[in-house]
């Protein structure tokens, strides 16, 4: 994975999709044949198709508009198109596998170069803390490492900031941020307005391009209306990431929040199975199993669409 991989699916399709490769059905038909001529005859009051090609060519009728194409291509060209379509299908599969693996499965894809991640652990279960720390460390190691600047702010009675402003991405800053994450403790002493305070604080940094609002569990009903009312005060898009939501209401709310902010929504539900591979051995002889040596398993939370539905949009 490189920084160039961190592009939206819309941009990826512009670069690698069927249309850009001249492989849509309409484009293929224009390469292997020509439209059967028809014209409107006023005296008859209807379309009339020519008959010169009857029986001369194999014909194909497009279901979308009923247009008939006379097929003239030789088998060599057909085989070339089949090969190109097979390669395109494999490329799509690789992209889908990439989108649904590792940090992309948990967090979606970070598209901007300067971001702040706001961590809302206010409705977290105690046993989820370690899982969230590992997931966020993976996001830093796999995605943030390819951008320019970043910061993290934890929702609390007073927002807890990793850095006062977004810091340049270096090996040292990534390591420092992971160390900061590892030291976070379980804490439920937050007020209804705490999440808004943290988002507004993130919005004060003029260096960033967007905010990623990482929400664990559900958002209290008392906080929702306030957030929706004031999200437009935040001068940056607020992308929402739902982690282990336990109700459809939170999913619907975070979708709404991201829509009002003209940004994106992503959701992931808890790991259902974790297959461990052989552990790494450190110099002092200790065995260490990291997230990257595990196979992440998850599911879509209630209220989200399936990948098949998303692909059909």
Residue closest to 96 by CA, chosen among 14, 15, 13 = 13
CATH fit for domain 103-311, picks 2.120.10.30, 3.40.1360.10, 3.20.20.70, 3.40.50.410: 3.40.50.410
Average per-residue pLDDT for the chain:
80
The domain spans of the chain are 3-99, 103-311
- pLDDT, tens only, 128-158: 999 999 999 999 999 999 999 999 999 998 8
Q: Can you tell me which residue has the tokens 């260490």? A: 288
- Band (pLDDT 50/70/90 cuts) for residue 256 is very high
Distance CA(8)–CA(50), nearest Å, equals 46
Distance CA(202)–CA(169), nearest Å, equals 17
CB-CB contact of 116 with 150 (8 Å): yes
Query: Per mean pLDDT, which of 44-48, 156-160, 168-172 is the most reliable?
Result: 168-172
- Does residue 255 register a pLDDT over 60? yes
Q: Using alpha carbons only, how large is the chain's radius of gyration in Å? A: 26
DSSP state, residue 279 = P
Token readout for 172 is 């040292």
- Quick one: average pLDDT of 16-22? 90
What pLDDT is attached to residue 44?
A: 52
39-48, 180-189, 249-258, range with the lowest pLDDT: 39-48
Angle at 171 between CA 169 and CA 176, to 5 degrees: 85
What pLDDT is attached to residue 171?
A: 96
What pLDDT is attached to residue 78?
A: 85
- Band (pLDDT 50/70/90 cuts) for residue 54 is low
- pLDDT, tens only, 264-313: 999 998 754 443 434 444 444 444 444 433 334 455 555 555 343 344 33
């Amino acid at each position: 994975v490189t920084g160039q991989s961190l592009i939206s699916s819309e941009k990826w399709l512009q670069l690698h999709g069927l249309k850009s490769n001249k492989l849509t059905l309409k484009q293929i038909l224009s390469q292997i044949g020509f439209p059967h001529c028809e014209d409107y005859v006023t005296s008859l009051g209807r379309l009339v198709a020519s008959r010169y090609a009857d029986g001369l060519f194999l014909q194909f009728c497009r279901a979308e508009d009923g247009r008939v194409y006379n097929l003239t291509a030789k088998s060599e060209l057909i085989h070339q198109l089949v090969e190109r379509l097979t390669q395109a299908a494999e490329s799509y599969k690789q992209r889908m596998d990439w989108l649904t693996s590792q940090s992309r499965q948990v967090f979606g894809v970070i598209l901007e170069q300067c971001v702040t991640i706001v961590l809302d652990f206010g409705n977290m279960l105690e046993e989820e803390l370690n899982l969230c720390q590992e997931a966020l460390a993976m996001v830093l190691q796999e995605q943030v490492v390819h951008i320019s600047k970043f910061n993290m702010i934890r929702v609390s009675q007073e927002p807890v900031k990793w850095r006062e402003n977004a810091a340049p991405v270096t090996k040292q800053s990534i390591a420092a941020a992971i160390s900061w994450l590892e030291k976070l403790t379980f804490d439920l002493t937050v007020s209804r307005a705490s999440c808004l305070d943290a988002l507004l604080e993130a919005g004060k940094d003029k260096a960033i391009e967007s905010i990623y609002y990482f929400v664990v569990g559900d958002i209290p009903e008392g906080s929702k209306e306030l957030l929706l009312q004031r999200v437009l005060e935040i001068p940056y898009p607020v992308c929402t990431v739902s982690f282990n939501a336990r109700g459809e209401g939170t999913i619907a709310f975070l979708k709404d929040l991201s829509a009002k902010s003209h940004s994106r929504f992503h959701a992931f539900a808890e790991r259902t199975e974790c297959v461990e591979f052989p552990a790494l051995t450190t110099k002092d002889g200790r065995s260490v199993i990291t997230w990257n040596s595990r196979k992440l398993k998850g599911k879509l939370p209630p209220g989200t669409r399936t990948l098949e539905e998303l692909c059909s949009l």
